[in-house]
A and B are shown apart, each in its own frame.
Chain A
Amino acid sequence: MSKPKVAFYWCASCGGCEEAVVDLAEVVLDVVEAVDIAFWPVALDFKVSDVEALADGELAAAFINGAIRTSEQQEMVELLRRKAGAVVAFGACAWLGGIPGLANLSSRESILEFVYRGSPSVQNGDGGVPQELIDVPEGRMTLPHFDETVRTLDQVIDVDYYLPGCPPPCGLIAGAVMALVEGRLPEKGSVLAPDVALCAECSRAATKPEDLKLKSFKRPYEVIADPELCLLAQGLVCLGPATRSGCGAVCIAANMPCTGCMGPTSRVIDYGAKALSAIASLVESEDEDEIAVLAGQIADPVGTFYRYSLPASLLHRRVEPARVSEGTAS
């Protein structure tokens, strides 16, 4: 019996997820032993045509990391969807939009403007911006379309499973792959991580007071955190209470607060809103003006609470001011 075929692919991502696969170290050999890798652009020389040549559903699974921003990414994930029995959204970006999803705070135009013209480090003679189609003496050149909005993988294709994390912890990856190989899969749509928040596995949980109230919020660079005590109790915005466990609280072990890459539990539909609610509840004041001041100490609330999940949030992206012509109609 032939080994199941799997594919790895990356979209709008940093490459960290690919590293995570490599980081499986010895386990990766077991994986390679167990499966046939049919497509893995970052490591193996396959072509798109190799994928196209596969029969529909021939891949046992496609592990796709990164968010979706371009037409090329969309085409590729649609192709992989057709070829794969199961699609696993691999990592925070594919599941929730991730860090690239924060681009949803800016418009497509302003991004192009800054990257190709405005950024202080750019030297771009005539201020040209990449074109999807351009005729040059050598012939016609094309680039993928750059979408208005960053989307999560499941906003583009049907997704069977999600592996959370930035990047997903090795243990979870190995567990997922082995489960796949051994055919003991959970219900479709499952997130392949414990469905309980991080405090459950945080070694500092016991040091959090039951009636914690904060008079100020601090950022990590502002304090030297006590390595034993709950970071929230030290005024640092640690999102562990809102974030799935399964990572082993490694950031907290390094004395850095959880920023939420493992995403929400299954009972939460908007990660940022819930995290915001929990943090706001800690504010120690009943005075309306003071509450506003304390709330204002949390720098960049969207970036803080939706660091990994803006495209998956209920609002998806920043609302652009209506153009005048639009504003009057409807």
Chain B
Amino acid sequence: MSAQRYTYYPGCSAKGVGRAFTESLDAVFEHLGTGLDEIEDWNCCGATAWPSVDEDQAFALSARNLALAEDRAPDAGPVDVLASCTGCYRALLKTEHVLAEPGPTADKIGGALAAIGLDYEGRARARHPVDILVNEIGLDAISAAVVRPLTGLKVACYYGCLLVRPFATFDDQYNPTSMDRLVAAVGAEPIDWPLKTRCCGGSCYCGGPVIGAMPEATMQLSYALLREATKRGADMIATTCPLCQFNLEGFQDRMSKRFGRPLDIPAVFISQLLGVAMGIDEKRLGIQRLLRWRLPERMPVAAEGGGHARA
């Protein structure tokens, strides 16, 4: 088990509407003997609508976060910056790539950082917590920490559009398996389904309320995921992105009406599932923030507490 603590960049969603993601990750990492240290004074990652307005400014925002992360580790050598929200994760990765390429953009952003007394040396690199869990902490350590195996729970692992795209840093771009291996490590059964990386429509919501810019398109995209997961017998959808989770969880009633097919399937953060298996208090995992949370009847009852239905 790793004794190292990790630098953590939460971003707005995993601190706001998806705060349960940060809470549960915090709890799980602590439980695994490590921990997350939030970058102080972090700012918006510059994903969402910003790049379409001014891409360079969007890069500058991410660059500041990376530079701050480097400041936290003054010694030479790489600094892993964990970004849980896959939108932030991609924004940071993209910025890394842009800054690694010498040219006017890199110069401009370097200048902007210098103006506020910062410097990006190229040491900070964005990593996703799923990557860390699978490839650094390791499945064995995670299995070993399980006190309540999720035997019998069928999980549809949903990677979303950005976790392995456009940058596939730790998993296959077309058929990622990291999350599947994680849920299997805690005793659950990952279902095989073809929509692991299909768009949830989350981006269509961005910058607006629920019925955002393109409600019809969004509903169709999310619906396809929920329908397919249900059809294939999943009890739950595991996600790695606050937007996906919000999208998939929040509008099932509306979609049921719109498409004439009843939907009722919890969509949770993968870290919440891991935490439950490790016996971490549900409050610390932000389970109470979920709109739907239900473990199937066929699962063995937990040793202590843990009601079956709570939705």
A and B touching (C-beta < 8 Å)?
Answer: no
Binding site for A on B (CB under 8 A): none
